[in-house]
Amino acid sequence: MDTKQLWKNCLVEIEEGMSKANFSTWFKNTSIIKEELGIIYVGVPNEFVRDWLKNKYHKLITKTVADAYESMRAVEYLITKIETNKQELPKLNEAFVNVNKELPLRDLYIDKEDNLNPRYKFDSFIVGSFNELAYSAAQHIVEKPGINYNPFFVYGGTGLGKTHLLQAIGNAIKEKYADKKVHYITLEKFATDLVNSFQAGNNKANAFKEKYRKYDLLIIDDIQFIGKMETTQEQLFHTFNTYHENNKQIIFSSDKHPNYIPELADRLKSRFAQGMIVDISEPAYESRLAILKVKLQEQNIDLEPEILEYVASTIEGNIRELEGSLNTIICQYRLKNRPLSLAEVKTLMKNNIKPKKNVSIKDVVKVVSDHYNLDEASIYEKTRRKEIVRARQVVMYLLREDFNVSYPLIGQKLGGKDHTTVIHSYLKIKNDLKNDPQLLQEIETIRTMFK
Amino acid sequence: MKIECGIEQIKNAILQTERITGKNLTLPILSSILLIASGKNLKMRATNLSLGIEIEIPAKIEEEGTVAVSGSVLSGMFSNIVQNESISLFTEDSNLLIKTKKSKIKLKCNPYEDFPTIPKVSGIELEIDAKKIMDGIKSVYYSSSVSDIKPEISSVYIYSNEENLVFVSTDSFRLAEKKIKVKSLQEISGILIPFKNIPDILRVFGEFSGNIKVSFDKNQISFSSDSVYLTSRVINGVFPDYRQILPKESKTEVVVLKQDLSNALKLSNIFSDKFNQINFSIKPKSKIFELSSQNNDVGENKTYLDAVLSGEDIELSFNYKYFLDCFQSINTDSISIKLNQSSKPMVVSSSSDNSFTYLIMPMNR
């Protein structure tokens, strides 16, 4: 349905029934903002007009719109911002501005009311296999906030787009439901607010509760720091209950699964698990390439495909670093004002690539044996004690998988084993990994120690 | 309608509401004042669709009723009635008859059915000493931008910060900030009152003593006392993040008597050019604080001022008007000027009271 045309037709009808003066005073700058479930939202410039349209012309408007648009059920009035014509800057001022310097005022970008950054939208969110579950859950939440997946808990490593996803949900809900109050906050700010409220005395402690319970959607970012804060946990628990009871959506993000957040109270843990817990993992090569392409499009810049492929293949995992590298390249591109060659990009990126640590076989053995609480020497021994065998197999697997050491060399270094033994161990662990999540977790933990 | 009331009361109410009637608008009814007699009160209402006002006065009502009468005619009439007695008003056909002891007046009425309502604000509510809030607004509003291009800065911005109610306005060449302590203040994330409505708000409540109720929501703010209800549209926008440009330290500081500086500025202005440019030359080591200005058509001038100087030598030029403006907001005898570089804003404040801060951007030479 073309709302513009509909409103134009209605205005023609409405104009007939009243004086020109009345019409131009009350109907100038009005428009249909949107239509939702048969409700027509008419945008008006201010409260005076809204009051008057509602009191005086509501019947007329409803009737006219109903005649023109059959599935209309009701008409509502919303106050909208009128766009002033910004291009028409008065010329007179020019000389004046040249002499008088302006204060370096920058527009506040983040909305103070809800802390949301309008830059984070679903449109700019790239979906790949690494985050599609989180994305589709987010879409469901926007569809029916508070009903589907409440609470929604997102976890994943740094720079993988958790904050982007959270803020995109907030922005989408704000856009879709004009009456819903959204609030985004980091745990740190939440805790500081709480402490301040205690300092201010009894009166303010209630103000804190009221402040955080009045929203329809509360987003708390970086919740992993809650571990040591017992009182904050308690307040969060109560706030959480209020939201949940009233079917209001609440969303958390963390860099770990709630089970691994140290010193998290059980009652909170179980509540987090009550809704939906999803992880965002690291993007694969294809996703990284897609992200780069979208970012370039935003900046309106074209780069050679092989440069993009190079960047995508060298920067692993972290999207934030990926963006950082791309920005460096774009900056150079703008500076030089010509396309860059692959060689130039390689020199540029030198600093951005994390140097791979030189890990010796001995280091691997040490880390693994430490992890399993074994004596380092026992790995090299010819023993078939179960716990040692397992640790030795893990060492072999890691050496082969992560460090590309040849089978014979592994065998030789680990107490003169045959290379077939090594192959067997490698394959065994590889197979076990497929259906043993605990082993996977162990290996992940060990791997982080090499980084 | 048939009523009787005191002249002085109705006169004041009419003169105040008349200011807010709509002038040169497309809808003629807006230039009227609506008189509503009901219960034991006479209400007078006017609006220009940006501001709305309603004043209530006690009256003896024999017959209830509503009429709309041209505001300018009413105010012209009342400002020339000087008796201090009671007055009676009653309608006859479509006319309003007004009788005092010594005069008889017949006024034509407008159809009142088209007179708009005035929005009632339901939102955050606070009760506050009228003096405080008006003082805050008065201290900064002259710095707002007069053009409509950026509505968010052609307004006075009010927000709460801990125990202070903070008032700010800027036209991007200078900026004024006033903090006023208010006990048990609610959190206010920010209201933008259009600059154009400020003089009217100050006129109505500027002299009021006692508490008034201030309510506001996203679209509207209202001020109300027992007898007066005033509501203004607020601007839907975000005020620039000004706090990041307030200099935290300064390299040069001047403390000078306000009267001395004011006289010197006025003198220098005679010789300033069309951009009102005046130069400061501050040399703490040689104890020189010099104001100078020159105009090829008039001549030139140098004035030396007694002042306490500290820090580094500095020279800069600025628009004298911006400087003179802020003197009305500083109530102490001496003022302090803090400077950083000749291209950075200078900060003017009272030397002893830090509730008012004023930033002036220097000129390019």
What pLDDT does A101 receive?
Answer: 65
Instruction: Report residue A77 as tokens.
Output: 């009035």
Sorting pLDDT into bands at 50, 70 and 90, what band is B224? very high
Mean pLDDT value across residues A212-222: 88
CATH level 3 topology of B247-360:
DNA Polymerase III; Chain A, domain 2 (3.10.150)
Residues A245 and A322 in one domain: no
Tell me, yes or no, if A50 comes closer than 8 A to chain B by beta carbon: yes
Residues A172 and A270 in one domain: yes
Q: What ipTM was reported for this prediction?
A: 0.73
Higher pLDDT: B365 or A116? It is A116
Residues A196 and A241 in one domain: yes
Tell me, yes or no, if A89 comes closer than 8 A to chain B by beta carbon: yes
- For chain A, what percent of residues have pLDDT higher than 90? 3
Most confident of A159-163, A269-273, A446-450, B347-351: B347-351
Residues A141 and A274 in one domain: yes
The rounded distance, in Å, linking the Cα atoms of B348 and B339 is 9
Residue B17, judged by CB atoms within 10 A of its CB (0-12, 13-18, 19+), counts as buried
Instruction: Report residue A210 as tokens.
Output: 């009221």
Query: Domain boundary at A280, A309, A336, which?
Result: A280
> What mean pLDDT, rounded, does chain B reach?
89
Mean pLDDT value across residues B174-185: 89
Query: Domain boundary at A228, A255, A280, which?
Result: A280
Residue A294 lies in a domain: yes
Q: Pick the range with the lowest mean pLDDT from B27-41, B50-64, B73-87, B245-259.
A: B73-87
Instruction: Using the predicted structure, report yes or no on whether residue A94 has a pLDDT greater than 90.
Output: no
CATH level 3 topology of B2-114:
DNA Polymerase III; Chain A, domain 2 (3.10.150)
DSSP H or E segment with residue A381: none
Q: Which of B148, B175, B275 has the CB atom closest to A99's CB atom?
A: B275
Sorting pLDDT into bands at 50, 70 and 90, what band is A107? low
| CATH, residue A329 | 1.10.8.60
Residue A101 lies in a domain: no
Mutate: best of B186, B229, B233, partner A, most A CBs <10 A: B233
Whether the CB-CB separation of A345 and A312 falls below 8 Å is answered with no
CA distance A183 to chain B (A): 13
CA distance B353 to chain A (A): 24
Residues A40 and A180 in one domain: no
The rounded distance, in Å, linking the Cα atoms of A229 and B21 is 58
Chain B residue numbers touching A106 (CB-CB < 8 A) = 240-241, 244
What pLDDT does A105 receive?
Answer: 63
What pLDDT does A85 receive?
Answer: 43
CB–CB of B361 and A100 under 8 A?
yes
What pLDDT does B289 receive?
Answer: 93
Sorting pLDDT into bands at 50, 70 and 90, what band is B335? very high
Read off the pLDDT of residues B72-106 as tens digits, 9 standing for 90 and up. Answer: 999 998 888 887 788 999 998 889 999 888 888 99
Chain A residue numbers touching B49 (CB-CB < 8 A) = 25, 46, 48-49
Provide the residue range defining the domain that includes A416: 361-450
Residues A147 and A217 in one domain: yes
Residues A316 and A365 in one domain: no
CA distance B231 to chain A (A): 10
Chain A residue numbers touching B239 (CB-CB < 8 A) = 108
Residues A23 and A75 in one domain: yes
What pLDDT does A209 receive?
Answer: 81
| CATH, residue A424 | 1.10.1750.10
What pLDDT does B59 receive?
Answer: 92
Residues A307 and A174 in one domain: no
Considering its fold, how many domains does chain A have in total?
4
Beta strands across the sheet bearing B288-295: B299-304, B288-295, B277-283, B314-319
| CATH, residue A180 | 3.40.50.300
Residue A89 lies in a domain: no
Instruction: Using the predicted structure, report yes or no on whether residue A86 has a pLDDT greater than 70.
Output: no
Q: Which of B26, B187, B220 has the CB atom closest to A24's CB atom?
A: B26
Higher pLDDT: A81 or B90? It is B90
Tell me, yes or no, if A110 comes closer than 8 A to chain B by beta carbon: no
CB–CB of A203 and B184 under 8 A?
yes
Chain B residue numbers touching A47 (CB-CB < 8 A) = 119, 219-220, 233
Q: Pick the range with the lowest mean pLDDT from A167-171, B23-27, B75-79.
A: B23-27
Chain B residue numbers touching A102 (CB-CB < 8 A) = 172-173, 361
CB–CB of A48 and B236 under 8 A?
no
Instruction: Using the predicted structure, report yes or no on whether residue A400 has a pLDDT greater than 80.
Output: yes
Residues A302 and A403 in one domain: no
Instruction: Using the predicted structure, report yes or no on whether residue B110 has a pLDDT greater than 60.
Output: yes
Q: Which of B151, B172, B219 has the CB atom closest to A105's CB atom?
A: B172
pTM check: above 0.90: no
Instruction: Using the predicted structure, report yes or no on whether residue B336 has a pLDDT greater than 50.
Output: yes
Read off the pLDDT of residues A412-444 as tens digits, 9 standing for 90 and up. Answer: 888 888 889 889 988 888 888 888 878 888 888
Task: End-to-end CA distance of chain A: give it in Å, rounded.
Answer: 56
Read off the pLDDT of residues A285-298 as tens digits, 9 standing for 90 and up. Answer: 888 888 888 888 87
Instruction: Using the predicted structure, report yes or no on whether residue B252 has a pLDDT greater than 80.
Output: yes
What pLDDT does A96 receive?
Answer: 46
Rg of chain A taking only CA atoms, in angstroms: 30
Residues A266 and A136 in one domain: yes
Residue A224 lies in a domain: yes
CA distance A102 to chain B (A): 5
Instruction: Using the predicted structure, report yes or no on whether residue B349 has a pLDDT greater than 60.
Output: yes
Read off the pLDDT of residues A349-372 as tens digits, 9 standing for 90 and up. Answer: 776 665 555 678 888 888 888 888
Read off the pLDDT of residues B116-153 as tens digits, 9 standing for 90 and up. Answer: 889 898 888 889 999 999 999 999 999 998 877 788 88
Its CATH architecture, for the domain B124-244, is Roll (3.10)
Residues A316 and A373 in one domain: no
Instruction: Using the predicted structure, report yes or no on whether residue B187 has a pLDDT greater than 50.
Output: yes
CB–CB of B27 and A21 under 8 A?
yes
What pLDDT does A109 receive?
Answer: 59
What pLDDT does A89 receive?
Answer: 38
Which residue on chain B is closest to A111 by alpha carbon? Answer: B238
What pLDDT does A91 receive?
Answer: 37
